[in-house]
Amino acid sequence: MILIKLGGSVISDKRKYKEFREEGVRKIVKYLPKRDLILVHGGGSYGHILAQEYRIREGFEEWKRIGFARIGVDMQELNLKILNILLEEDIPAISVPPHSLFVMGNSPNLEIFHYAVNLGFVPLTFGDIILHREQGIDICSGDYMMLHLAREFRPQFTIFLTDVDGIYDRDPEEKDAKLIEVLERDVEPETAIKVKDVTGGIAYKIRVMREIANYSKVYVLNGFHPERIRSIIEGEKTVGTVVK
């Protein structure tokens, strides 16, 4: 089993509302295995911009209803675009939207993923709006789904694709940022966290990756160079971060 997240930073331009990177996604899909694969995609500018505007993570208030529902629609729109590309490349993907799978505060029920994988389908889930047991509404991030899927399936490889080469020792936009090739699970990486991201961005991602490293080989690769996915699967050395 291989678990891959198509980061929102790769599949969309995070600065522009609903800016889909179709060619980039097509290129990535050509390097994906056709089975024994679970996919997760992030929200990018289909999710984060409105999630922030409507302060979804701060819980329910009446004025947020339309915004919350709108993000749900936008995410399904993004999901549909990716599903279509997967199908065109002969990957039998089926969509599993978190908001109709579970209520946050409870663990996601992953039964559907097992059934789908056993029949040779490729489940595709994503960062989504979600109802919350206590605070009413929340965001279920793609990274959160990655964590639960890795715990459940113990994939051979877990790969996070982002728009940079891996995890850096500070914000990669800073001039002296250096790629961390091996991120040790128990060493606190000196990362500057400056990106605006309602799901906690890179700090949360690092926490998630460290836990997943208990169950799986975890890599962060640049989604603009998807041939690196193949290198990892074939056991070759490539540019990226491995979490050990």
47 strand-pairing partners: none
- Which of 134, 132, 81, 75 lies closest to 108, judged by CA? 132
Point out the residue whose Cβ comes nearest to ligand ATP. Answer: 42
Distance CA 60, CA 12 (A): 27
Between 83 and 167, CB nearer to ligand ATP = 167
Segment interacting with ligand ATP, rule: CB under 6 A, options 24-32, 130-138, 192-200, 231-239: 192-200
Distance CA 84, CA 92 (A): 10
- Kindly state the smallest distance separating residue 102's Cβ from ligand ATP, in Å: 19
Applying CB under 6 A, among 24, 98, 123, 142 the residue interacting with ligand ATP is: 142
State the residue for tokens 């962060």.
220
Using DSSP, state whether 41 is helix, strand or coil. Answer: strand
Q: Per-residue contact track with ligand ATP, 8 to 27, x per CB under 6 A? A: xxx-----------------
Told to check if 7 binds ligand ATP by CB under 6 A, we report yes
Between 137 and 208, CB nearer to ligand ATP = 208
Write out the DSSP string of 190-222.
--------TT-HHHHHHHHHHHHTTTSEEEEEE
Between 80 and 119, CB nearer to ligand ATP = 80
Please give, one letter per residue, the 3-state secondary structure of 90-148.
CCCEEECCHHHCCCECECCCCHHHHHHHHCCCEEEEECEEEEECCCEEEEECHHHHHHH
Between 111 and 173, CB nearer to ligand ATP = 173
Distance CA 122, CA 3 (A): 10
- Kindly state the smallest distance separating residue 118's Cβ from ligand ATP, in Å: 27
Applying CB under 6 A, among 127, 155, 226, 240 the residue interacting with ligand ATP is: 127
Contact residues toward ligand ATP (CB under 6 A) are 7-10, 42-44, 48, 127, 142, 162-164, 167-168, 170-172, 191, 195, 197, 199, 201-202
